[in-house]
Structure 1
Amino acid sequence: MSEPILQLDGVVTDIGRYHILKGVTLDVPRGQVTMLLGRNGVGKTTTLRTIMGLWRAKAGRILLEGQDMAPVPVSSRAALGIGFVPEDMGIFSDLTVEENMILATRSGPLDPARRDWLFAAFPPLRTFWRSEAGNLSGGQKQMLSIARAMAEERRLYLIDEPTKGLAPAIVSTMVGALRELKAQGASILMVEQNLSVARALGDRAAVMDDGAVVWAGAMAELSADPALQERLMGLSVEAH
Structure 2
Amino acid sequence: MSEPVLTLTGVHTDIAQYHILNGVDLAVPRGGVTMLLGRNGVGKTTTLRTIIGHWQTKAGSITFDGTDITGQTVPARARAGIGFVPEDMGIFSDLTVEENMILAAVSGPLDPARRDWLFSVFPPLRTFWESPAGTLSGGQKQMLSIARAMAEERVLYLIDEPTKGLAPAIVSTMAGALRKLKAQGATILLVEQNFAVARALGDTAAVMDDGRIVWAGPMAQLAEDAALQERLMGLSMEAH
Deviations 1:179-235 (A, max 9, x none): 000011101101000010001110000000000000000000000100000000013
CA-CA distance at 1:239 after TM superposition: 3.1
Counterpart position of 1:111: 111
**1:219-234, aligned counterparts within 5 Å?**
219-234=219-234
Between the aligned partners of 2:167 and 2:53, the Cα distance in structure 1 is 32
CA contact (8 A) 1:89 1:145 kept: yes
Q: Figure out how many residues of one structure are paired with residues of the other and give that number.
A: 240
Which residue number corresponds to residue 6 of structure 2?
6
Higher mean C-alpha displacement, 75-84 vs 15-24: 75-84
> Distance between the aligned counterparts of 1:142 and 1:85, measured in 2?
9
Q: Which residue of 2 aligns with 1:150?
A: 150
Cα separation, partners in 2 of 1:203 and 1:2, compared to 1, 3 Å: farther
How far residue 165 of structure 1 moved from its aligned partner, in angstroms, is 0.2
TM-score w.r.t. the length of structure 2 is 0.97
Give the match's secondary structure for 1:152: coil
Q: CA deviation at 1:61?
A: 0.4
Cα distance change of structure 1 residues 17 and 238 upon mapping to structure 2, 3 Å threshold = closer
How is 1:3-82 mapped onto 2 (pairs within 5 angstroms)? Answer: 3-82=3-82
Are residues 1:164 and 2:164 paired? yes
Displacement after TM superposition at 1:236 (Å): 8.6
User: In structure 2, what is the Cα distance between the partners aligned to 1:90 and 1:236?
Assistant: 25
- Length-normalised TM-score, structure 1: 0.97
Give CA-to-partner distance per residue, 1:153-191, whole Å, 9 cap, x none.
001000000000000000000001100000111011010
Asked if the contact 1:226/1:237 (under 8 Å) is kept, the reply is no
Q: How far apart are the structure 1 equivalents of 2:238 and 2:52?
A: 33
State the AA in 2 paired with 1:123: P
Partner Cα separation in structure 2 for residue 133 and residue 239 of structure 1: 32
Shift of the 207–190 alpha-carbon distance from structure 1 to 2, 3 Å rule, reads same
Gaps of 5+ in 1: none
Distance 2:144 2:123 in 1: 11
